[in-house]
Copies of this chain bind each other. A is one copy, B any other.
Amino acid sequence: MSADPPKIALIGAGKAGTQLGRRLAACGLAPVQVFSRKEEKARHLAEAVGASFTNDLAAVVSDADVYLIAVHDDAIAAVAGTLSTVLSHNPLVAHISGATPSTVLAAPFPRYGVFYPLQTFSEDRTPDFSKIPICIHAPAADDLALLKNLAERLSDSVHVISDEQRAALHIAAVFVNNFVNHLYGIGYRLLTDKGLPFELLLPLIQETAQRVQPDMDPSRMQTGPAARGDHETIARHLDSLRSDSDYHAIYLEMSQSILTLIMNSIQHADRRNH
C-alpha cells in the first residue's frame, strides 16, 4: 500500500453507493470513476464528487487500486463476473453488502473483501457517516489493512467481521430496521383509521429508540401488557384487532415471544437461587 490515497472505482450509484461516494470525496478519497447501469445516476454522483462516469462495465477504468461494488445483492455475482473479464491488473475488489457472502467474489478475483457500512440510506437524508459502523473483511492481511485504512478515514466505528458474523448482523438489521419500520407503519394505520394524526406517536417512537444503551439488553427495559402478564389487556387488544388478520397475528406472536422471554428469565433466576 503506497502513501498516496488508493485509487477507487465505485461500481453502483444507488442510495448506498451515492452516500458512500459522497463520503469518500468528503474524506479526500473521491472515486476516480462512478459506474451505474443508469447513466443519469452515474453522471449525477460523478459530477458531485469530480469523477468520470460510465454505464458500461467494459469501460470501467483498468488501473484503480480498489473497486467497491455497490449494486443490489442479486446483481453482485454477475457484475463481478463481467468486471473480471475487463480487469487484469489484480486489484482489490470488495462489495458493500450485508447480505452477500464475500466468497461470491472469490472465483473471479484473487483479492477480494467486504466493506459494509451498516446503515439504512435514504436519498434525502445525509447520515452522520463518522458514526456508521463499517464492517470489513478480507482473507489476505494486506487487503484487510487496505480496507481498514480506507474505513478509518470515513468512520470512527470500524469492525473486522467474518462472513458468518455479517450474516447474523444482516438478519438483526432486518429485525431492528425493516420489521421495526413495519411496526411504525401499523401504528400509522391504527391511528389514521381512527382519525388521529400519526405525529402523536413520534415522541414515543423517538424515545423508545433513544433510550437503547450500547451495553444493555433492551429486554431489561421491556414494558407493556405482555411483559407484565396482563392477560386481560392482551385479550382486549387481540379482540379489537380481529378484523385485521395480519395485525392480530403479529400482536399474538410478539406477545407470546415476550412472555416466553420473561418466563425464561424467571426460570434462569430461580435456577441461580437454588
Contacts and interface: CB of A to CB of B under 8 A. Distances in A.
A79 interface: no
A240 interface: yes
A258 B182 contact: yes
A74 to B, nearest CB: 7
Interface string A223-236: 11111001011000
A127 interface: yes
A68 B158 CA distance: 50
A178 to B, nearest CB: 3
Chain A at the B interface: mostly helix, strand, loop or mixed? helix
Interface string A96-135: 0001000000000000000000111010010110011101
Interface stretch (A25-33, A143-151, A204-212): A204-212
Contacts of A215: 198-199
Given A178-B223, A222-B185, A204 B241 contact: no
A257 B250 contact: yes
Chain A interface size, as a band, is 35 or more
A82 interface: no
A63 interface: no
A249 B240 contact: no
Given A171-B240, A233-B99, A197 B182 contact: no
Contacts of A182: 218-219, 222, 254, 257-258, 261
Interface in A134-184: 135, 157, 159, 161, 164-165, 167-184
